[in-house]
Every structure is written in structure tokens, then in C-alpha cells.
Amino acid sequence: MIYEPVIILKKEMVRIADTARIDSWVKIEGGKGVFIADYVHIASFCHLNIGGGELYIEEYAACA
């Protein structure tokens, strides 16, 4: 579930599992690839993959 507004740059490089939760006001930069696995929670105001490399967030993790 993705709660708007969320900004995703280079959407073609971002994969988000159906069971992941992305709260409002999150920014995800695709870079060389972003993979967010099942049951991950990204809290509001997180900014992911700022360096533009690859980012893997595996099952049951959270970012706040």
C-alpha cells in the first residue's frame, strides 16, 4: 500500500512488493535499482537511495 504523496524518481528502476507499506511524504530515487520486499514499512519523510546506487530492503524491515 502506498499513501500519497510519494515521489519516485526513475520509476522503471523501482520494485515494491504488494505487501509493502510506504507512508506519505516519502521520496525514492531509483538510481541503479531499488527493491523493497514483502512486509517492509517505510515511514513518512524517509528519503531512500540518495546516492543513486542499488538498494535492497529485505522482508520485515522498516525505515524511519
Q: What is the pLDDT of residues 9-57, one digit of tens each?
A: 999 999 999 999 999 999 999 999 999 999 999 999 999 999 889 999 9
Inter-residue contact 55 to 34 (CB < 8 Å): yes
Residues in the chain: 64
Phi-psi region of 45 (alpha: psi -120 to 50; beta: other; left: phi over 0): left
Predicted TM-score of the model (pTM): 0.92
Cell of 48: 531512500
Q: Output the pLDDT for position 54.
A: 97
Q: Output the pLDDT for position 39.
A: 98
Nearest 5 degrees, angle CA 2-CA 59-CA 37? 45
Instruction: Quickly state the pLDDT bin for 60 (edges 50, 70, 90).
Output: very high
